[in-house]
Amino acid sequence: MSAAFTCLKIEDRGAARVVTIDRPEVLNAINAAVIAELTGAVEEAAGDPTVGGLVITGGGSKSFIAGADIAAMSTMSPEEARTFAGRGHALGEMLSALAKPVIAAVNGFALGGGCELALACDFVYASENARFGQPEVKLGVIPGFGGTQRLLRRVGAAMALELCMRGNIIDAAEALRIGLCNRVLPQAELVDAAVAVIVEIAAHGPLAVASAKEMIHRGADLPLPDANIREIEAFAGLFTTSDQREGMAAFLGKRRAAFKGA
């Protein structure tokens, strides 16, 4: 890792890179510096072949990300707010486009921008004390980092409308019930479980993993016939790779595949 971070802690655990937002004095609230450092961390992971995927979590036991830094936002002009929101959206798009899995390990409050960052990840694993919400209407604004749109696609219009219009906070059990998170775990097991899943996925064909992620993210916004055509082309394209030949030969030979990402 080449970058020096002041808001993040980075730890490599096998194929998994654990990225921890570390601002305990403000419950890991997002500001421009956090966005910039997370952007840099994702760029580094994208270019590092030893990284099989990311686990994003929050420092301490109370909070994943308690939201955006309200003190910083309170004095923003409309143009500054547009720039801030644009950077948050760009980070979310980077996470969605990263050709590697990303798991949000939500260990406490994931409110406002914290919930939005979790929604930009591929999976959301939550600790039993996790709390999710989009309370921006209580501040006179709306989610600005993709919350209205990613939440809509994750839980459906009715639930997204209620969460965004009421600004209420839900617990981990309710988040699991409505599909906002994938799993609920004891807090002591949360990051280890996310790391284990990244390591598991990293043992599969990396081109296939990247293609599956792209098809699901991009196909969600297409009419089904168009999305199916894209899937056929992506499936056929993988038959040009040595990974496809290796994977099928390994299966037939009853041995573990040695994928090279080519």
Q: Do residue 67 and residue 143 come from a single domain?
A: yes
Report d(CA 15, CA 209) in Å as an integer.
14
Give the model's pLDDT for residue 3.
Answer: 62
In DSSP notation, 22-43 reads --GGGTT-B-HHHHHHHHHHHH
Evaluate whether residue 50 is within a structural domain.
yes
| Residue finishing a domain among 186, 202, 218 | 202
Q: Do residue 93 and residue 164 come from a single domain?
A: yes
Sequence-distant (≥ 6) Cβ neighbours of residue 132 within 8 angstroms? 106, 110, 111, 115, 118, 126, 169, 170, 171, 172, 175, 180, 181
Q: Do residue 247 and residue 177 come from a single domain?
A: no
Which of 179, 176, 147 minimizes the C-alpha distance to 163?
147
The tally of domains found in the chain comes to 2
Q: Do residue 194 and residue 213 come from a single domain?
A: no
Q: Do residue 106 and residue 168 come from a single domain?
A: yes
From the CB of residue 11, how many other CB atoms can be counted at a distance below 10 Å?
13
Evaluate whether residue 257 is within a structural domain.
no
Q: Do residue 243 and residue 174 come from a single domain?
A: no
Give the model's pLDDT for residue 1.
Answer: 55
List, for residues 180-199, the tens digit of each pLDDT value: 999 999 999 999 999 999 99
Evaluate whether residue 88 is within a structural domain.
yes
Q: Do residue 16 and residue 127 come from a single domain?
A: yes
List, for residues 48-61, the tens digit of each pLDDT value: 999 999 999 999 98
Evaluate whether residue 258 is within a structural domain.
no
Evaluate whether residue 260 is within a structural domain.
no
The catalytic site residues sit at: 116, 136
Give the model's pLDDT for residue 71.
Answer: 86
Q: Do residue 60 and residue 83 come from a single domain?
A: yes
For the chain, the straight-line distance linking the first and the last C-alpha, in angstroms and rounded, comes to: 24
Q: Do residue 79 and residue 192 come from a single domain?
A: yes
**Residue 161 three-state SS:** helix
Give the model's pLDDT for residue 2.
Answer: 53
List, for residues 194-252, the tens digit of each pLDDT value: 999 999 999 999 999 999 999 999 999 999 999 999 999 999 999 999 999 999 999 99
Q: Do residue 127 and residue 223 come from a single domain?
A: no
The CATH number of residue 227's host domain is 1.10.12
Evaluate whether residue 261 is within a structural domain.
no
Phi, psi of 53 (to 5 degrees): 170, 170
Give the domain extent around 226.
206-252
Q: Do residue 183 and residue 243 come from a single domain?
A: no
Question: 91 has which bridge partners?
Answer: none
The CATH number of residue 74's host domain is 3.90.226.10
Q: Do residue 215 and residue 140 come from a single domain?
A: no
